Homo-oligomer: A and B are copies of this chain.
Amino acid sequence: MLGAQNGEDILVRFGNRVRELRRATGASQEEFAFRCDLDRTYISGIERGRRNVSLRNLVTIAQALDVTLSQLFDGLER
């Protein structure tokens, strides 16, 4: 099955990317969650690679980070 092998990895790599970009904005998880109108535990789960984030929430997160979806994923698969 295509994608299955890297399934775990992409969530962890995406979480690390979100944490990195979120920290670069100077926002705490609480502040960032408020900005996204999402729960802090949900943001925490994303950053720990535990959440299989949906496209709508990806858009919300990208906007809160002030990056495009394309920028959010740039280099994640390398």
Contacts and interface: CB of A to CB of B under 8 A. Distances in A.
Interface of A: 1-4, 6-7, 10-11, 14, 35-37, 52-60, 62-64, 68-77
A55 to B, nearest CB: 5
Given A52-B55, A55-B11, A3 B69 contact: no
A6 B59 contact: yes
Given A35-B2, A37-B1, A10 B56 contact: yes
A57 B6 CA distance: 11
Nearest to A14: B55
Closest 4 CB pairs of A and B: A3-B60, A69-B73, A1-B37, A52-B54
